[in-house]
């Protein structure tokens, strides 16, 4: 009997969602051309409201190089999955119950969910409630436990690297200090890798609280070495040593309504440094554009392995990659677990040995 498989993309968009779905669908149809694939629109909202379309082979044609997601996406906070589906009906069905009801009403054999850490927690909850779930790890932050890489990460590294590459010439021409703020609210994988790849002189990440005077001293050292410019790559979630224990409200208050950490650092350094300081915040540009060749290969591997897990009935798993091999990791083992940059990470240690400052 042919399988009926649902598929959705949830959370922030990232390069690689389309080729991952392509890998899943092509492998499922190659196994059985009669497989039915239902694509839920706009993430978990589509699952809640039974908003879906029957996918055909041509829907997945020509999307290998396409960024974003053909199904659309939205953010559905895990904190609110047990809230009422409709705010004006507080005694009505919850969002989680609506998802499960759609799953059961459509008699799905499996649901393949593509998304990051928050998406994964809801996926795990659905799995615990009896739904047959397979999760594919997507995030440019690369902060999902149980896999060496999440897709979207390498594409974002490439883009962030190109941004900083482009800063070099203008920084050199004007003898300036440039602060480039990259994405990474909790972890610093993206800033670490893009900073090294682009030749940043100082890299500031959430895992290593910085001291403004240490950053200043690193800049002064470059001045003494007759270097004409300096580039600081800073993750959006980086904090100074004095801000580590502050909650979000206290942090905003301490920064005097300056929400961008790059501009906050600029203010801190301008009190110490004579040199001109400029800020560049590429923002969502890092999520956009076509997936890199690396991510196209990675998502194809992960998508095919997800299809195999569905065919074999091996559910409640995240499909990851360790070394060169795809792995199936129990969702219960990794759900809600953040993969931080360890202080003994080989890439980080190599950066230190090259003389790159981390502001500590």
Q: What is the DSSP string of 210-265?
A: B-HHHHHHHHHHHHHTT-S-EEEEEETT--BTTTTT--HHHHHHHTTT---HHHHH
- Listed in sequence order, the residues at least 6 apart from 280 whose beta carbon sits closer than 8 Å to its beta carbon are 163, 167, 178, 179, 180, 181, 262
Q: What is the DSSP string of 158-226?
A: HHHHHHHHHHHHHHHHHT-EEEEEES-SS--HHHHHHHHHTT-SEEE-TTS-B-HHHHHHHHHHHHHTT
CB 350 within 8 A of CB 344: no
Structural tokens at position 227: 């270097």
Distance, CA of 339 to CA of 328 (rounded, Å): 17
| Residues assigned a catalytic role | 141
Distance, CA of 233 to CA of 9 (rounded, Å): 30
């Amino acid at each position: 009997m042919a399988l009926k498989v649902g598929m959705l993309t949830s959370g922030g968009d990232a390069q690689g969602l389309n080729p991952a779905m392509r890998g899943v669908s092509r492998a499922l149809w190659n196994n059985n051309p009669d497989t039915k694939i239902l694509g839920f629109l706009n993430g978990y909202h589509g699952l809640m409201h039974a908003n879906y379309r029957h996918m055909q082979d041509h829907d997945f044609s020509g999307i290998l190089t396409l960024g974003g997601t053909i199904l659309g996406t939205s953010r559905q906070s895990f904190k609110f999955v047990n809230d009422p589906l409709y705010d004006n009906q507080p005694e009505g069905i919850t969002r989680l119950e609506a998802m499960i009801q759609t799953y059961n009403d459509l008699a799905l054999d499996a649901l393949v969910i593509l998304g990051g850490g928050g998406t994964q927690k809801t996926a795990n909850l659905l799995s615990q409630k009896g739904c047959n779930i397979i999760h594919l790890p997507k995030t440019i932050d690369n902060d999902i436990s149980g896999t060496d890489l999440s897709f979207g990460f390498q594409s974002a590294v490439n883009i962030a690297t190109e941004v900083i590459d482009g800063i070099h010439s203008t920084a050199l021409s004007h003898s300036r200090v440039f602060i480039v703020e990259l994405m990474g609210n909790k972890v610093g994988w993206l800033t670490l890798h893009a900073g090294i790849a682009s030749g940043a002189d100082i890299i500031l990440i959430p895992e290593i609280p910085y001291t403004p005077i240490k950053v200043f001293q690193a800049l002064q050292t470059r001045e003494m070495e007759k270097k004409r410019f300096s580039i600081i790559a800073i993750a959006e979630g980086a904090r100074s040593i004095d801000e580590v224990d502050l909650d979000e409200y206290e942090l905003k208050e301490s920064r005097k309504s300056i929400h961008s950490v790059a501009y906050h650092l600029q203010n801190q350094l301008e009190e110490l440094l004579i040199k001109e300081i400029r800020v560049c915040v590429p923002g969502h540009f890092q999520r956009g554009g076509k997936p890199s060749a690396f991510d196209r290969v990675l998502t194809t591997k992960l998508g095919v392995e997800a299809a195999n897990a569905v065919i074999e009935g091996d559910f409640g798993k995240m499909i990851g990659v360790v070394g060169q091999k795809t792995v199936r990791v129990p969702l219960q083992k990794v759900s809600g677990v953040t993969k931080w940059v360890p202080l003994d990470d080989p890439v980080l240690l190599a950066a230190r040995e090259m003389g790159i400052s981390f502001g500590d």
